Amino acid sequence: MTPFLPDLPHSLSAAMRRGLLGKCPRCGGVHLFARFLKPVDRCPLCGQDWTLHAADDFPPYVAILITGHILAPVMIVLGSATAIPMWVTVAIALILAVVLLLSLLQPAKGAIIALQWWMGMQGFAERPGKQEAGIA
């Protein structure tokens, strides 16, 4: 039986793209998340330990930053349209903010976990991804 050889990413952007899509940044084959924002403890395919990450508050920061940059022009356009009542503008902004934040949180966390793995940050310091891939 041939041992499983993970399809290692060849660049940081490839690893982060896998994380964005919710796939294992190391092998790209399975889901990175067991629940909405809870990564699997260990990839069932390649065995990478994902409990070593420490994404902390960075994914919400990224999600809020992107949401704000999308919402700002929308609020300016809606605010300058005098025909739209203020309560409708506020309702649209609130709904849009919640939808954007919820949809950006998991991809942001996946990308940041991939970034930490690739750069050998936090608990990944002993086994950096780029050294494993032969790029360092």
Bridge-partner residues for 31, per DSSP?
23
Q: Given candidates 46, 62, 112, 115, which one binds Zn ion under the rule CB under 5 A?
A: 46
Where does residue 72 rank: exposed (0-12), middle (13-18), buried (19+ CB within 10 A)? exposed
Residue 92 lies near Zn ion (rule: CB under 5 A): no
- 26: contact with Zn ion by CB under 5 A: yes
Among 8, 16, 20, 27, binds Zn ion (CB under 5 A): 27
When the beta carbons of 46 and 115 are compared against Zn ion, the nearer one is 46
Q: Is residue 45 at the binding interface for Zn ion, with CB under 5 A as the rule? A: yes
3-state secondary structure of 59: helix
Binding-site member from 16, 32, 43, 104 for Zn ion (CB under 5 A):
43
Closest CA to 120 of 47, 25, 32, 23: 25
Closer residue to Zn ion in complex, CB, 48/106: 48
- Binding segment for Zn ion (CB under 5 A), chosen from 42-50, 85-93, 101-109, 111-119, is 42-50
Q: Is 15 in the site for Zn ion (CB under 5 A)?
A: no
d(CA 136, CA 117): 13
Q: What is the DSSP letter of 5?
A: -
Report whether 57 contacts 39 (CB < 8 A): no
Q: Does the protein bind Zn ion through residue 55 (CB under 5 A)?
A: no
